[in-house]
Amino acid sequence: MIKILTKDELPACPVATTVQLIGSKWKLLILRNLLVRPWRFNELRRDLEGISQKVLTDSLRSMESDGIVTHTVYPEVPPRVEYSLTHSIYPPFIGETALSANSFNTPRAKRLSFGTS
């Protein structure tokens, strides 16, 4: 069963929340890949040079239990499983980043808040 953390269970600071959820080297690289498209397990393992099967499995399970990643099992022979980002990741991480950037008066913060480059 997936247990998504409530707002009260997470740190008040958006940056601390992000670090708590995806702060490891491998989780960041997995997230980078999943931002592009859904990936199968072995595709991820081959692309993430140096990651062990156990670390990839543990990272994906942890990200799934945090509500960041979902896996879809297709009823085929052999079974096909794809990992993708949940739709809920975009508002918490991208939205919080933009809100945090608004508190700083820098050109980069202004670009983030208005969606320009």
Rounded distance between C-alpha atoms, residue 12 and residue 10, angstroms: 6
Strand-pairing partners, residue 81, are 73
Asked whether residue 21 is assigned to any structural domain, the reply reads yes
Strand, coil or helix: 40:
strand
Where is pLDDT greater, at 40 or 88? 40
Domain range holding 51? 13-86
Asked whether residue 99 is assigned to any structural domain, the reply reads no
What CATH number does residue 35 fall under?
A: 1.10.10.10
Q: Structural domain tally of the chain?
A: 1
Asked whether residue 80 is assigned to any structural domain, the reply reads yes
pLDDT digits (tens, 9 = 90+) for 52-83: 999 999 999 988 888 889 999 999 998 899 99
Query: What pTM, to 2 d.p., does this model score?
Result: 0.62
Q: Are 48 and 29 in contact (CB under 8 A)?
A: yes
